[in-house]
Amino acid sequence: MGKLSTFGTALALVATTAGGVAFAQTQGGPVSALKGHNSNAPIDVASDRIEVQDRADRAIFAGNVKVRQAELTLDTERLTLAYTNDGKLQIDRLDASGGVTVRSPSETARGDFGIYDLNRRLITLIGSVQLQRGDSRISGGRMTIDLDSGRAVVDGGPRGVGESGGRVMGRFTVPQRTGG
């Protein structure tokens, strides 16, 4: 996985339709959000308990679940791993619940639920979402990261639900300037 770019001095907020927000830099193109992450890397999972439901092609991990794929980590209380087994086991999707934290070397994202669709190369966090890079922070109702393009979109969610009240909120650090 490539390093995530940080909020630079050239950070600009770009509003999108449906109340979403995407990040872009005025120089150098879009901010990379896990762009280049190797979704073909092995996935390591550790937990207090595992239940394999082979006829349903899934495994359920419960209690202090830790997932690692390359430099990406995910911590949660419960994880359902969906797979196909046509002679070769292939993981298709991870569904996390019970509070989800996804970390990369430069950012941390949190939500109530998380979905990592390996086939579509999308990571989605839902419910009380927070994304933090350094001292800058964004919160909303839902965040989707496209691993192919590196585009991250945060939506506010329904009005009156959660802390955001249907809005995306952010706080960004700016470089200290001298003079006036």
b vs e for 67-88, b when ≥16 Cβ sit within 10 Å of the residue's Cβ? bebbbbebbbbbbbbeeeeeee
Residue 84 domain-assigned (yes or no) = yes
Entry pTM? 0.74
Q: How many domains does the chain have?
A: 1
For residue 122 the two structure tokens come to 């999308």
Q: Which two tokens stand for residue 35?
A: 């762009």
Q: Establish if 87 belongs to a structural domain.
A: yes
How buried is 17 (Cβ within 10 angstroms: 0-12 exposed, 13-18 middle, 19+ buried)? exposed
Query: What's the CATH number where 86 sits?
Result: 2.60.450.10
Q: Is residue 5 part of a domain?
A: no
Residue 1 scores a pLDDT above 50? no
Domain holding 80, by residue range, is 33-170
Which pLDDT score is estimated for 98? 93
Structure tokens at 21: 């927000």
Least confident of 29-33, 43-47, 122-126: 29-33
pLDDT at 63: 97
Q: Is residue 27 part of a domain?
A: no
Task: Kindly report, residue by residue over 54-106, the tens digit of the pLDDT.
Answer: 889 999 999 999 999 998 999 999 999 999 988 888 999 999 999 999 998 88
CA distance 92 to 155: 25
pLDDT for the residue 180: 60
Residue 35: predicted pLDDT:
63
With bands split at pLDDT 50, 70 and 90, how would you rate the model's confidence at 17?
Answer: very low
Name the E strands within 16-107.
Answer: 20-25, 43-46, 49-53, 58-69, 72-85, 89-103
Q: Please, what is the average pLDDT of the chain?
A: 77
Report pLDDT for 115.
Answer: 97
